[in-house]
Amino acid sequence: MDAQVADMPASLAAPSRVPKLSVQRIGKRYGKLDALLPMDLDVAPGEFVTILGPSGSGKTTLLQIIAGLTEPTCGRLLIDGRNETDTPPHRRGIGVVFQNYALFPHLTVAENVAFPLQMRRMPAAELNRKVAATLEMVGLGGLQHRFPRELSGGQQQRVALARCFVYQPALIIMDEPLGALDRKLRETMQLEIRRLHRDTGATILFVTHDQDEALALSDRICLLNQARIEQLGTPQDIYERPASLFVADFIGLSNVLRGTLEAGGLRTADGLLPLPPGATPASGSLAALVIRPEHVELDPAEGPALAGRVTETVYAGSEHRLVVTLGSGASLILRRTASQGSLPLGAPVLLGWPAERAQLLRP
Amino acid sequence: MATEAVRLDGVTRRFGAMVALHEAWLKVRHGEFLTLLGPSGCGKTTLLNLIAGFLAADGGEIFIEGALVTATPVWQRDIGMVFQNYALFPHMDVARNVAYGLATRGVNKAEAAQRVAEALALVKLTGMAGRRPRELSGGQQQRVALARALVIRPKVLLLDEPFSALDRNLRGAMQVELKEIQQRLGITTIFVTHDQGEALSMSDRVAVMSAGRIHQVGTPEEVYRRPADRFVAGFVGDVNRLPARLLGREGDTAQVAAGACHFTVPAAPLAGLAPGAAVELFLRPEQLAPAPAGGPALLEGVVVARVYQGDRMELHLEAAGVPGRVLLRLPGHAPGVGEHGSHLAVQAQPQPDAMAFPPTT
Amino acid sequence: MRYGLGLRALRLMLRLLVLTILGFVLLPSVVVIIAAFSDRSILAFPPTGFSWRWFARALAYEDFQSGFRNGVIVMAWASSIALVIGSGVAIALHRYSFTGSRLLQAMLLAPLVVPHFTLGLGCLILAAQLGVARTMGLVVATHVVLVLPFVLRSVYVSLRNLDGRLEQAAASLGAPPGRVLWTVTLPLLAPGLAGGWLFAAILSFNEFTASLFVTAQRTQTLPVAMYNYVREYADPTMAALAAIYIAVTALLLLVANRFLGLGRVLAIDHGH
């Protein structure tokens, strides 16, 4: 029976339960400073996980530990179930794409891409075929004889991607690879990376401080703050059900109304606000309601309406953002589509939101 | 105050054989927030440096508050300048940095101290006066730079991509703060950026530039909804370019047809084209929506990417006959609509801000 | 540390190699310093006994005293004059590109490649042609030519590292060019200027070859006096003087490092 299973093509076997990467209670201290508190993170084969966080949150430390450039103070690192905590970087089978491309300036595009294959002593015929196919895949067919300095920033980053994808490493780490590109090129390259991920089935660990990039690319986002994991979940989880005020604030725009819990709602300076269904509050404790701007409604059909005045309008082309200041001085942001139009400054408005769209969080 | 705060009359600047700025004509009103928007190399920074006096014009005249300053050296122009890299004096503390422009003007010590304190309060840095620039975060350094430029009460405030070195959340906060300060002081401000979102949200008017020329000067809404040409349409916000046909013209408007849909567009860009001519229809992503089954469709395509952005889902479509991709923005996470690889029929929102331009040859 | 035996062995070998090279570089100095404490009147190594007397003789010897005085005077004048000329030229070269600016640069850097005896001989012949006696002025002038390239380079590198937008910012705040120079440019160049001066001073004080040509008995600098001493005597006085020399120079560098940062003095820039 075992032999039969072994003969089966990998694709037909039951999906592997072994994570591609397993971070187990890994932490890092520098003297008295915790660069990374002990944390766990599993990345499934073929998964695209983004490590997101502000600078100083520990994302670079985590990345360096996984890549083998820094030793953890504690914990274990498994790749394909093998303990690789003590393996030197070049034996971990991890490919890294850097923000500054790190291309070899004295080698042509093709030679750059061939480099990892030569290091693995691949026969010339197979090597040439792979290099050509990979360059084609990243849209650089025909440029193989150029030198890096003759390419644009976006093209250079494609070469860096090709050099990494060409030898099919067990895990690909991308360290803010699009940080140096301007917005439009960045968005194009995001789509490109998504496509490469889908076409190759590679397992990718992507590091960024850009929340839109994280939302756009990831299967899951690992949001770091102050050396620990603040939240780990799908982009939709993180955006719609932030686990803390930090997450709500870091990802997208959000409105926060603070108050004290009591029977029937949250007591704020602007009145008693209804809680989202299913919330089980402890009466008397401080709490905050978080509502995304797109869920704030003008003249709500149901629920309580908060009175305020428009104190600022921001035009964003595809939408208008209004800042409404409430009686207590707290302000709420709401989005209006281009066709709904803006409102004049000073206009009195009534605001509300569907109760189920609010999130109850600890302050 | 009949004259403009800043006026450029046909200002040209060359670097060797390259024309960095070609006959720029521009009037900046008193108290206005005007943004020079364009890709890198479009001449926006050259234009700012010409107004500041860091560069000399090869042709044309520059006026500040009605006075001809084309040949006036920088230090006599009464401008406040904020640089991308802050350019704080590293050998002076915050207070001395801010006081620098007052010292050059011979303001007495007591008054200078008071004005420095006011300026630091304005940028919310009270209590930081004794710090050195290197002890401050990027956002704080840029506040010091802003205070240093404002404390001299310049005739015009010039900002050269001041927030591009800051990370995203901080940039948003600084934008709001600058706008508030600018409105409170009513100071004429010229702001250079390549970020169209920044330009739209902060400016009273935007001058869109490319290849050394000013393409359009208008309010954010004008440049977004009524771009003067293809470049402006494509640079200010995302746009879908769809093949279409000119049906006819009537006064200021023209009718074009694309797919099974008709659109009314401004006629001016289509001058000289005969009915039946091929044109390109420009539609913003938020003006497209999935078409109901059986309804008239603008186009039909295959979804090649779904990009989640929290408050919206962006769908990228490949459609026959459409060069490039078609981009749709749907509110929320749009479950069940336009799964990856599925076919999707698309229609336009009612009364869209459509534009049409002659096709590129 | 956890990367297995091979890597650990490699690291150990690297450390040994560095120590060996360091030892090789320092060995001559160590030999001289040890020899200086010899109790015998012949320069010999290893010494057989311990004595301070050669230090006493070195400090009391009149030619050394006058040589030291001359050396300090020449050093101070030459490096200060070179600093003024070098800074001016460096600023001009950095700020403006004028006809012949490259030629000027090449000429001023030429002493780096021209052997010192050529320079010394040249200055001597020139002085003789012009009828200038072998005065302190001649020694100072020769040393200015010798150290100018080092000062020029040091100031030029500091200028290149100076962000031009700081000067633009100062101008935008109403400062005319002179004020920008005094309040922004020069303060920021100060470490470079000080480093250039110190570098020039050390070079000037140690310079021997060219000085041999242009000095007379009354104007001889310390290295020349030492040379003359060695021609006549072979006792460890020289070694003692050399030891003092090393100690003083090391002290100077330590002070420079404390107040200026050695990296900046030597214009090693680790900035982005």
Q: pLDDT tens track of chain B, all 361 residues?
A: 558 999 999 999 999 999 999 999 999 999 999 999 999 889 999 999 999 999 999 999 999 999 999 999 999 999 999 999 999 999 999 999 999 999 999 999 999 999 999 999 999 999 999 999 999 999 999 999 999 999 999 999 999 999 988 877 788 889 989 999 999 999 999 999 999 999 999 999 999 999 999 999 999 999 999 999 999 999 998 999 999 999 999 889 999 999 889 999 999 999 889 999 999 999 999 999 999 888 888 999 999 999 998 889 999 999 988 988 999 998 887 788 888 889 999 999 888 889 999 988 6
Token representation of residue A112: 């750059």
Across A50-54, A183-187, C215-219, least confident range: A183-187
Q: Is residue C174 one of the residues assigned to a domain?
A: yes
**pLDDT average, residue stretch A74-87:** 92
Nearest-Cα distance to chain B for A245, in Å, is 15
**pLDDT reading at A218 higher than 80:** yes
What range does the domain containing C98 cover? 61-265
pLDDT score for C143: 93
Q: Measured between alpha carbons, how far is B188 from B1 in angstroms, rounded to an integer? A: 13
**pLDDT reading at C260 higher than 90:** no
Task: Please choose, from the candidates A174, A50, A191, the residue with its C-alpha nearest in 3D space to the C-alpha of residue B306.
Answer: A191
Cβ proximity of A335 and A318 under 8 Å? no
pLDDT score for A170: 87
Q: Measured between alpha carbons, how far is A257 from A357 in angstroms, rounded to an integer? A: 14
**pLDDT reading at A11 higher than 90:** no
Q: What does the pLDDT look like over A242-262, one tens digit per residue?
A: 999 999 999 988 999 999 998
pLDDT score for C168: 92
Task: Identify the band that residue A280 occupies on the pLDDT scale cut at 50, 70 and 90.
Answer: confident
Q: Is residue C56 one of the residues assigned to a domain?
A: no
**pLDDT average, residue stretch A22-39:** 93
Chains with 3 or more CB pairs under 8 A to chain C: A, B
Nearest-Cα distance to chain B for C165, in Å, is 6
pLDDT score for B275: 93
pLDDT score for A340: 84
Sequence-distant (6+) residues with CB within 8 A of A207 are: A50, A51, A52, A59, A60, A63, A173, A174, A175, A176
In this structure, are strands A33-43 and B156-160 parallel, antiparallel, or unpaired?
unpaired
Task: Identify the band that residue A10 occupies on the pLDDT scale cut at 50, 70 and 90.
Answer: very low
**pLDDT reading at C95 higher than 50:** yes
* C176:B80 CB<8 A: no
More confident residue, B30 or A209: B30
Nearest-Cα distance to chain A for C15, in Å, is 20
Q: Is residue C12 one of the residues assigned to a domain?
A: no
Cβ proximity of A260 and A282 under 8 Å? no
In chain C, what residues touch A92 (CB-CB under 8 Å)?
A: none
Q: Is residue C150 one of the residues assigned to a domain?
A: yes
* A236:B332 CB<8 A: no
Token representation of residue C161: 């590292």
Percent of chain A topping pLDDT 90: 60
SS (H, E, C) B245-288: EEEEEECCEEEEEECCEEEEEECHHHCCCCCCCEEEEEECHHHE
The answer to whether C2 faces chain A, any CB pair under 8 Å, is yes
Nearest-Cα distance to chain B for C174, in Å, is 4
Of B197, B200, B308, the CB nearest to A215: B308
In chain B, what residues touch A251 (CB-CB under 8 Å)?
A: 310
In this structure, are strands A48-52 and A220-225 parallel, antiparallel, or unpaired?
parallel
Q: Is residue C25 one of the residues assigned to a domain?
A: no
Nearest-Cα distance to chain B for A243, in Å, is 15
Percent of chain C topping pLDDT 90: 19
Sequence-distant (6+) residues with CB within 8 A of C98 are: C92
pLDDT score for C1: 44
Of B74, B88, B149, the CB nearest to C171: B74
**pLDDT reading at C253 higher than 50:** yes
In chain A, what residues touch C7 (CB-CB under 8 Å)?
A: 88
* B332:A294 CB<8 A: yes
Which residues in chain C (4-43) have CB-CB distances under 8 A to chain A?
A: 4, 7
* B85:C163 CB<8 A: yes
Q: Measured between alpha carbons, how far is A214 from A231 in angstroms, rounded to an integer? A: 13
Q: Is residue C177 one of the residues assigned to a domain?
A: yes
* Residue that the structure tokens 């560095």 belong to: C18
Cβ proximity of A251 and B310 under 8 Å? yes
CA angle A252, A258, A260 (to 5 degrees): 145
pLDDT score for C263: 53
In chain A, what residues touch C3 (CB-CB under 8 Å)?
A: 86, 88
Residue of B nearest to A341 (CA): B221
**pLDDT reading at A5 higher than 50:** no
Task: Identify the band that residue C47 occupies on the pLDDT scale cut at 50, 70 and 90.
Answer: confident
The answer to whether C125 faces chain B, any CB pair under 8 Å, is no
Task: Please choose, from the candidates A154, A158, A162, A50, the residue with its C-alpha nearest in 3D space to the C-alpha of residue A116.
Answer: A162
CA B35 to chain centroid, in Å, comes to 5
In order of their start, the domains of chain A are 2-240 (3.40.50.300), 253-361 (2.40.50.100)
In chain B, what residues touch C183 (CB-CB under 8 Å)?
A: 100
Total structural domains within chain C: 1
**pLDDT reading at C3 higher than 60:** no
Q: What does the pLDDT look like over C167-201, one tens digit per residue?
A: 999 999 999 999 999 999 989 988 888 888 888 88
Task: Identify the band that residue A126 occupies on the pLDDT scale cut at 50, 70 and 90.
Answer: very high
List C-alpha distances in Å: B183 to B32, B74, B178, C167. 9, 26, 9, 29
Cβ proximity of B22 and B210 under 8 Å? no
Query: What CATH number does residue C96 fall under?
Result: 1.10.3720.10
The answer to whether C21 faces chain B, any CB pair under 8 Å, is no
Pick among B104, B156, B190 to test the C interface (most C CBs inside 10 A): B104
pLDDT score for A242: 94
In chain C, what residues touch A85 (CB-CB under 8 Å)?
A: 2
Q: Is residue C159 one of the residues assigned to a domain?
A: yes
In chain C, what residues touch A65 (CB-CB under 8 Å)?
A: none
Residue of A nearest to B328 (CA): A318
Positive or negative, the CA dihedral B56, B59, B60, B61 is positive
Q: Is residue C83 one of the residues assigned to a domain?
A: yes
3-class secondary-structure state, position B341:
coil
In chain C, what residues touch B105 (CB-CB under 8 Å)?
A: 174
Of B85, B90, B148, the CB nearest to C173: B148
Nearest-Cα distance to chain C for A70, in Å, is 11
**pLDDT average, residue stretch C156-172:** 89
Pick among A86, A90, A92, A100 to test the C interface (most C CBs inside 10 A): A86
Sequence-distant (6+) residues with CB within 8 A of A87 are: A68
**pLDDT reading at C156 higher than 90:** no
pTM of the model: 0.83
Task: Identify the band that residue C4 occupies on the pLDDT scale cut at 50, 70 and 90.
Answer: low
Cβ proximity of B65 and B2 under 8 Å? no
Mean pLDDT of chain A, nearest integer: 88
3-class secondary-structure state, position B313:
strand
